[in-house]
Amino acid sequence: MRHEPIRQFEEALALEAGVDVTIVMPCLNEAQCLPYCIANAKEALERIVDEYGLRGEIVVADNGSTDGSQALATRLGARVVPVPERGYGAALIGGSRAAYGQYVLMGDADGSYDFTDGVAMIGKLQDGADLCMGSRFKGGISRGAMPWKNRYIGNPVLTGILNLFFRPGISDAHSGLRAMRKDAFLELGLSGSGMEFASEMVIKAALKRLCIAETPVKLLPDLRDRAPHLRPWRDGWRHLRYLFMLSPTWVFGVPALAAIASGIAILATALFRAFGWTGPVPFGESWIVIGALLTATGHMAGMMGIASHLYGVREGYRLPKPWLLATRKWLSLEGCLAIGLGLLGLSLLTLTAIGIYWGSERFAALPSVLPVTLAGLSGTIGLQTLLGGFLLAVLGGNEADFTRAVYKEASTGRAAQPAAGMIAEPVHGTTFWSRKLFGEAVRFGVVGSLNVVFNTMCIILLTELLSIHYIVSYLIVFSAATLIGFFLNRRWSFGIDHGAARKDLLRYVSFTIVTLLVGLAGIRVLDGLCGNYGIAVALVSAALAPINFFVHRTWSFGQNFRPIG
C-alpha cells in the first residue's frame, strides 16, 4: 500500500504543476527518434486539452543514454527522469512514478506508435477504466512494422495464454502504447525490469479486478537505423515464465488435480482387484507404485498452489479466494499438524502390521506391494502436510491461523474492494460465497446426470426404434445434449443471463469434445485393466467431473476475478 503522506505530497506536486496527463517514454539512446516522438506527443496533448480539458506533460525516462538524448529531450520541452536500473520495465516504472499527472500514457520512443491514438485511452480512463490497452491487431500493423514470427506466433500465443490464465479479455497484451490511472499503477506495485513488465501490468490488473479497457492503435515501422532492443526469443521466454509464475492455478492446481485423479484411479483399480471385484490387471504391480507417485506429487503440487496463492494475497496483487477462507478451521498450522501426524501414525501402524504379517510368513515375499505402497503414501502425504503447514504459516506472517491472518491483511487494502469505476459484480457473476460455489457444483452435477439419462434414452430410441446407425445417432444426441447442457449450466447452474454467449458456447463445446475423447480413451484403458466396463465408466466419470466443473466454470463461463467478467 502507498503511504498516505507520500500520496498527498505527489497530489500537491501535480496540482501545483497543473498536470492531469503525463506521457512517459522509455529512452535508451533514442536521439534519432526523440524529435518526432516528442512532437507527436505534444500533438496528442493538444487534442487531449481540446477534447477533455486536461493539461499534460512529457516525461522521458532515460535509462543511461550516451548519445545526448537527455539534453535533446530537455531542449524539446520534455522533463527528463534518470532511471539508473537498466531495462524496459525499469524505465517505465521510474518514469511513471515521477509523473505528475493522474493519468499516465506510456509509449515507446522509437516512432513505432502514434501518440494521438492515446487520446481515446485517456477518455476510457475518464469513463472509469483503470487500465486501457492499445490493440495493434485492431488498429492495424503496417508492412515491416512487426516480424512475422511476432505477429503470427509470439503475440497471439502469449496473449492467448494470458487470457486463458487470467481472463483480462484483451486482444494484444504486449502493445507498447497503454494508459493507466497513476493511483492504480502505484497500487499494483509493479517490479518487472525487462520486457515482461508488459505482461506483469495486465496480469496484476486482472488479478486485482481493475477495470481494463482496450482501444485500437496503429503500429508503424520504427525510425531507428539500428536493431531494436527487443530480443524475441529471450523476451518471449521472460513473458512466458512470468505468466506461469503468477498463475498457481495452472502451474500447481490443474496438474495437482490431474495427478491426484489419475493416481487415485490407478490405486482404486488395484484395490478392486485385491478384493476380487474385477478381473486380472494386465499391467502388473508397477502401476501401483506409479499411482502412489502421482497421488503424492499431486498433493505436493496442491500445497505449493495454496502457498503461492497466500503469498500473492499477502503481497497485494492477488484477491483472496473465499472458499479457501471457509476451510480455515482445519487449514491452519494446528490443522496441518493434526492431519499430518494422523497420517504418519496410520502409516506406522500399517507398516507395523505388515511387518508382523511378514514375520509370521518367515519373511517370504509379500503377495502384493499394494499394502506397503499405501502405507508409504500415507506417510509421505502426512509428512508433506506437516511440513507444508509450517511453510504456510511462515508465508502467512508467522501466524498459526495463516489463512485468516493473510485475508485480514488483504481486507484492509484495495484488493478487498472493487476498483474505481467498476461494478461490484463482474459481468459473469463472480462467486464470493462458498455456499454458492457448492450450489453451483451441485446443479452442475445434476445437469450432467440428466444429460447422461437423456443421451442413453435418445440413443436407444434412435437405434432400436428408428433403426438409425449408432454413430449417426450418437452424433445427433451428443450435439443436442451439448447445447441443452450449455444453456442449462449457463442459466441455472451459474446464473448467467448476459455476456458473450457465443464465445461461451464455443469454449463449452470445445472442452466438451476434448472431455469426450479423453473419457472414451480412459474408459478403454481402465476396461482393459479391470475387465469391468461399468467400473471403468464410473472411475472415469468421477475423475472428469471435478475437472469439467472447474474448467467450464473458469474458462467456458469466465467465473473468476476479472475486470469485465
pLDDT at residue number 419: 36
Same domain, 269 and 168: no
pLDDT at residue number 25: 95
Cα separation, 164 vs 254, whole angstroms = 13
Element (H, E) at 60: strand 56-62
- The answer, yes or no, to whether residue 479 has pLDDT greater than 70, is yes
The CA-based angle 300-554-259, given to 5 degrees, is 25
Mean pLDDT value across residues 9-29:
76
- C-alpha dihedral (5, 6, 10, 15), degrees to nearest 10: 0
Chain segment 393-403, per-residue pLDDT in tens: 888 777 777 77
Q: Say if residues 440 and 347 touch (Cβ distance below 8 Å).
A: no
Same domain, 423 and 409: no
Q: Order the strands of the 131-135 sheet from edge to edge.
A: 79-82, 56-62, 21-27, 103-106, 178-181, 131-135, 212-216
Give the confidence band of 429 by pLDDT, cuts at 50, 70, 90. Answer: very low
Which has more pLDDT, 215 or 442?
215
Task: Provide the CB-side half-sphere exposure for 207 (13 A, CA).
Answer: 27
Cα separation, 48 vs 424, whole angstroms = 30
Q: Checking DSSP bridges between strand 56-62 and strand 21-27, what pairing results, if any?
A: parallel
Same domain, 26 and 161: yes
Is 269 strand, coil or helix? helix
Give the confidence band of 484 by pLDDT, cuts at 50, 70, 90. Answer: confident
Q: Checking DSSP bridges between strand 103-106 and strand 21-27, what pairing results, if any?
A: parallel
Most confident of 60-69, 156-165, 477-486: 60-69
pLDDT at residue number 14: 53
**Range(s) of the domain holding residue 486:** 418-565
Which has more pLDDT, 373 or 555?
373
**Which of 113-122, 479-488, 517-526 has the lowest average pLDDT?**
517-526
pLDDT at residue number 316: 76
- The answer, yes or no, to whether residue 454 has pLDDT greater than 90, is no
Give the confidence band of 181 by pLDDT, cuts at 50, 70, 90. Answer: very high
Task: List the grid coordinates of 464.
Answer: 432400436
Which residue, 373, 388, 417, sits at the end of a domain? 417
Which has more pLDDT, 316 or 137?
137
- The answer, yes or no, to whether residue 260 has pLDDT greater than 60, is yes
- The answer, yes or no, to whether residue 281 has pLDDT greater than 70, is no
Give the confidence band of 445 by pLDDT, cuts at 50, 70, 90. Answer: confident
Same domain, 108 and 170: yes
Same domain, 226 and 255: no
* Residue located via cell numbers 490387471: 281
pLDDT at residue number 530: 66
Instruction: Report percent pLDDT > 90 for the chain.
Output: 30
- The answer, yes or no, to whether residue 212 has pLDDT greater than 70, is yes
Which has more pLDDT, 444 or 559?
444
- The answer, yes or no, to whether residue 389 has pLDDT greater than 50, is yes
Give the confidence band of 300 by pLDDT, cuts at 50, 70, 90. Answer: very high
R_g (Cα) of the chain, nearest Å: 28
Q: How far is CA 400 from CA 333, 334, 387, in A?
A: 5, 7, 13
Q: Number of folded domains in the chain?
A: 3
Give the confidence band of 565 by pLDDT, cuts at 50, 70, 90. Answer: very low
Mean pLDDT value across residues 237-247:
83
Which has more pLDDT, 59 or 533?
59
* 214 alpha-carbon distance from chain centroid: 19
* 558 alpha-carbon distance from chain centroid: 11
Which has more pLDDT, 11 or 469?
469
Instruction: Check the CA dihedral 419-424-427-429 and report its sign.
Output: positive
Cα separation, 316 vs 320, whole angstroms = 10
Same domain, 109 and 206: yes
Mean pLDDT value across residues 14-26:
81
Q: Say if residues 270 and 287 touch (Cβ distance below 8 Å).
A: yes
Mean pLDDT value across residues 368-383:
90
Give me the chain's average pLDDT, please.
Answer: 80
Same domain, 371 and 509: no
Chain segment 522-531, per-residue pLDDT in tens: 777 767 666 6
Q: Which is nearest to 341 in space by CA: 308, 390, 295?
A: 390
Same domain, 234 and 335: no
Mean pLDDT value across residues 362-390:
89
Number of Cβ within a 10 Å radius of residue 343:
20
Number of Cβ within a 10 Å radius of residue 321:
21
Cα separation, 134 vs 114, whole angstroms = 11
pLDDT at residue number 322: 66
Termini Cα distance of the chain = 26
Give the confidence band of 132 by pLDDT, cuts at 50, 70, 90. Answer: very high
Cα separation, 525 vs 536, whole angstroms = 8
pLDDT at residue number 299: 94
Chain segment 500-533, per-residue pLDDT in tens: 577 778 888 888 888 888 877 777 776 766 666 7
**CB proximity list for 262: less than 8 A, separation 6 or greater:** 291, 294, 543
**CB proximity list for 492: less than 8 A, separation 6 or greater:** 443, 447
- Encoded amino acid at 19, one letter: V
Task: List the grid coordinates of 81.
Answer: 527522469
Number of Cβ within a 10 Å radius of residue 74:
12
Element (H, E) at 26: strand 21-27
- The answer, yes or no, to whether residue 179 has pLDDT greater than 90, is yes
Q: How far is CA 419 from CA 130, 162, 167, 473, 542, in A?
A: 8, 21, 16, 50, 39
Instruction: Check the CA dihedral 329-331-337-338 and report its sign.
Output: positive
The CA-based angle 317-109-123, given to 5 degrees, is 60
Q: Checking DSSP bridges between strand 131-135 and strand 212-216, what pairing results, if any?
A: parallel
SS (H, E, C) 66-130: CCCHHHHHHHCCCEEEECCCCCHHHHHHHHHHCCCCCEEEECCCCCCECHHHHHHHHHHHHCCCC
Q: Show contacts of 447-453: CB within 8 Å, 24+ apart.
A: 447/485, 447/488, 447/489, 447/492, 447/493, 448/485, 448/545, 448/548, 450/488, 451/481, 451/484, 451/485
DSSP annotation string for 375-417: HHHHHHHHHHHHHHHHHHHHHTTS-SSHHHHHHHHHHTSGGGS
Same domain, 303 and 384: yes
Same domain, 411 and 439: no
Same domain, 377 and 455: no
Cα separation, 263 vs 294, whole angstroms = 5
Chain segment 263-275, per-residue pLDDT in tens: 888 888 888 777 7
pLDDT at residue number 93: 94
Mean pLDDT value across residues 459-486:
76
Burial of 284 (0-12, 13-18, 19+ CB in 10 A): exposed
Number of Cβ within a 10 Å radius of residue 369:
17
Which has more pLDDT, 325 or 360?
360
Task: List the grid coordinates of 289.
Answer: 507404485
Same domain, 437 and 499: yes
Cα separation, 398 vs 370, whole angstroms = 39
Give the confidence band of 412 by pLDDT, cuts at 50, 70, 90. Answer: low
**Which of 61-70, 178-187, 528-537 has the lowest average pLDDT?**
528-537
CATH code for the domain of 19: 3.90.550.10
Which residue, 395, 417, 439, sits at the end of a domain? 417
Number of Cβ within a 10 Å radius of residue 173:
24
Which has more pLDDT, 554 or 348?
348
Most confident of 126-130, 246-250, 279-283: 126-130
Which residue, 372, 394, 417, sits at the end of a domain? 417
